[in-house]
Amino acid sequence: MSPKAQPPGIAFRKHDHRRCQRQLLAEATQLCAERNLRLTSRRRQVLEILLASHQPMGAYDILAKLNRTAPNEQIAPPIVYRALEFLLGEGLIHRIESLNAFISCAHPGHRCGAQFLICRDCDQVAELEVSDNGLLAEAGSLGFAVDHSVVEITGVCAECQKHVG
Ligand SMILES: [Zn+2]
Ligand SMILES: [Zn+2]
Ligand SMILES: [Zn+2]
């Protein structure tokens, strides 16, 4: 039985991140098994790097981390991009467009769009999944076929606001 799904916006809730990390990795592994996909060690490594925190990371930061853990093999950027491509395609991670960075998905495998709250102080990103999106309804009423929708909201999280002033 899979454990209860994470509450929305987990990044900005007090939580045991080690548990959160373990749970998300387990969900991702299970999802790949269900879809008959190979979570190769490279893909898994990239996912684990992203699961380490709720802060998004750019492809080159991920590459640098990989090369630090395996100094004997120089990993080339396309390898990281291919792993990211796979993880994105399966909904295990998301791209934060405004930061040109990647974040692990808090609800692996969901198919509907996500919205992101980005704290400009601690750089953490919380994922929300608000299905009743008035914006998309409006697009639909115009007969517009939406391919992709990005909602990225920048601001300061509650925790960081406490430390101001
Ligand atoms: Zn966490
Ligand atoms: Zn997600
Ligand atoms: Zn913050």
CA dist 8 and 123 (Å) reads: 18
CA dist 51 and 139 (Å) reads: 34
* Cα 116 to ligand 1 centre (Å): 15
Q: What residues flank ion ligand 1 with Cβ within 5 A?
A: 17, 20
pTM of the prediction? 0.89
3-state secondary structure 92-110: CEEEEHHHCEEEECCCCCC
* Cα 96 to ligand 2 centre (Å): 11
Beta carbons of 89 and 37 less than 8 angstroms apart? no
* Cα 152 to ligand 1 centre (Å): 19
Q: What is 14-162's CATH number?
A: 1.10.10.10
* Cα 1 to ligand 2 centre (Å): 21
Tell me the pLDDT of the chain (165 aa) as tens digits.
Answer: 345 677 889 999 999 999 999 999 999 999 999 999 999 999 999 999 999 999 999 999 999 999 998 778 889 999 999 999 999 999 999 999 999 999 999 988 776 678 999 999 999 999 998 776 788 889 999 999 988 788 999 999 999 999 876
On the 0-12 / 13-18 / 19+ scale of CB atoms within 10 A, 129 is middle
- Where do the domains of the chain lie? 14-162
* Cα 40 to ligand 3 centre (Å): 33
* Cα 154 to ligand 1 centre (Å): 19
Backbone angles phi, psi at 135, to 5 degrees: -65, -45
